[in-house]
């Protein structure tokens, strides 16, 4: 591959404007791997806010019996839209794949844990009828902050002692305490890669603890979505991004853009990342990259700084644009903006969030 290094100045020039335009969504195979890749060696800087050409279309603000989901921005049944999201830790080591129930996730977070292993946290409001979700794995404290960016109920199977004091402050479900009832183990895999739950199990567990399953009317969540039903945000002068590699060195995830349906399809461990139950490959309309600072505890667990502010990327429709993030309230949302302070508005659909330590910038690639 021909690797090219981009300095901050190139990042600052990446995205000058964007427009909203109609898109069709036929199915099709993902694009082949590109041959020219950009190596990211410095954190990006934000750009001037893009302008959106909405032409004459007006936002769609009401639909009978439906509300916009806080996790996708799409119209969903009012009952679903008023739910607190379930935020579930998912094992992502080789012995744990393929996972189950993850194709229902509207948002997925990924970050390193120990030994260059990543763990996923899936976020979903529309969780009806799932009989197998998992393998569910243990908590790391920074994932708790991600769950509370959406007012969610955080679910895990055990936890690092370093997270104990934080878990005491939030509503969470520990499957290890409910093993054999609301959580169960399969025989096709060995522990700790065989712990699963279900929709019924999670709702039973929430009831045990008297957790409110209704979304707070005043909750402030992280993502804002376009309100247009037939037009999408596109970066006119953003950098091309038909391949994105977050740089996690063990599972080697990739997102490959499929122009025919406008989605990024995910690979890891050299294969399509699929759900075990449905066989469907994971695909996303939006990719968010959040660069954070951090260190490690003495046992090797990452100590990621998710408060304060930093830089990142918003990737959609084959383009990449630098953005800025800020988190003031420890258990509150993250605000994504452009350099003039205007909000980043996402296209409707599923979103994948990559949390990347700035020390690992050299491992991140895109074209």
pLDDT, tens digit, for every residue of 61-120? 889 999 999 999 999 999 999 999 999 999 999 999 999 999 999 999 999 998 899 999
What CA dihedral angle connects 342, 15, 40 and 267, to 10 degrees?
90
From the number of C-beta atoms within 10 Å of its C-beta (0-12, 13-18, 19+), residue 305 rates as: middle
Average pLDDT over residues 35-39: 38
Q: Read out DSSP for 245-274?
A: E---TTT--EEEEETTTTEEEEEETTEE-B
Domains in the chain, CATH or no CATH each: 1-367 (3.50.90.10)
φ, ψ for residue 9, nearest 5 deg: -60, -35
Quick check: 358 pLDDT over 70? yes
Q: What is the pLDDT of residue 294?
A: 86
* C-beta neighbour count of 315 within 10 angstroms: 27
Q: Model's pTM, two decimal places?
A: 0.88
pLDDT, tens digit, for every residue of 138-173? 999 899 999 999 999 999 999 988 888 889 999 999
Alpha-carbon distance 16 to 181, whole Å? Answer: 54
What CA dihedral angle connects 343, 353, 44 and 48, to 10 degrees?
-20
Q: How much of the chain, in percent, has pLDDT values that exceed 90? A: 66
φ, ψ for residue 8, nearest 5 deg: -60, -40
Q: What is the pLDDT of residue 3?
A: 29
pLDDT, tens digit, for every residue of 226-236? 998 888 888 87
Q: What is the pLDDT of residue 344?
A: 94
Q: What is the pLDDT of residue 218?
A: 83
Strands 107-112 and 351-357 come out as: parallel
Quick check: 4 pLDDT over 60? no
Q: How does the average pLDDT of the chain come out, rounded?
A: 85
Contacts of 59 (CB under 8 A, 6+ apart): 227, 228
Q: How many residues does the chain have?
A: 367
């Amino acid at each position: 591959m021909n690797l090219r290094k981009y300095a901050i100045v190139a990042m600052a020039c990446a995205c000058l404007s964007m427009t909203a335009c109609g898109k069709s969504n036929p199915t099709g195979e993902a694009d082949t791997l590109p041959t020219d890749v950009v190596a990211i060696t410095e954190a990006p800087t934000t750009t001037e806010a893009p302008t959106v050409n909405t032409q004459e279309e007006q936002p769609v603000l009401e639909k009978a019996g439906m509300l916009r989901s806080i996790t996708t921005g799409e119209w969903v049944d009012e009952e679903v839209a008023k739910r607190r999201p379930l935020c579930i830790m998912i094992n992502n080591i080789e012995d744990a794949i393929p996972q189950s129930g993850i194709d229902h996730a509207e948002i997925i977070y990924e970050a390193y844990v120990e030994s260059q292993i990543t763990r996923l946290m899936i976020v979903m409001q529309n969780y009806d009828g799932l009989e197998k979700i998992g393998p569910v794995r243990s908590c790391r404290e920074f994932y708790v902050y991600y769950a509370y960016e959406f007012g969610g109920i955080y679910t895990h199977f055990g936890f690092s002692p370093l997270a104990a004091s934080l878990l005491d402050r939030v509503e969470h479900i520990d499957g290890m305490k409910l093993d054999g009832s609301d959580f169960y183990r399969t025989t096709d895999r060995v522990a700790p890669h065989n712990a699963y739950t279900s929709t019924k199990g999670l709702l039973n567990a929430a009831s045990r603890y008297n957790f409110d399953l209704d979304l707070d009317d005043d909750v402030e969540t992280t993502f804002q979505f376009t309100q247009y039903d037939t037009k999408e945000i596109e970066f006119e002068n953003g950098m091309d991004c038909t391949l994105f590699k977050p740089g996690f060195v063990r599972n080697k995830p990739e997102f490959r853009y499929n122009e025919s349906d406008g989605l990024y399809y995910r690979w890891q461990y050299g294969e399509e990342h699929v759900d075990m139950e449905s066989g469907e490959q994971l695909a996303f309309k939006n990719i968010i990259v959040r660069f954070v600072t951090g260190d490690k505890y003495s046992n090797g667990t990452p100590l990621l700084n998710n408060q304060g502010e930093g830089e990142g990327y918003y990737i959609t429709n084959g383009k990449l644009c630098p953005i800025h993030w800020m988190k003031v309230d420890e258990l509150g949302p993250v605000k994504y903006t452009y350099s003039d302070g205007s909000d980043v508005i996402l296209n409707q659909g599923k979103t994948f969030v990559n949390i990347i330590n700035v020390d690992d910038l050299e491992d991140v690639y895109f074209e």
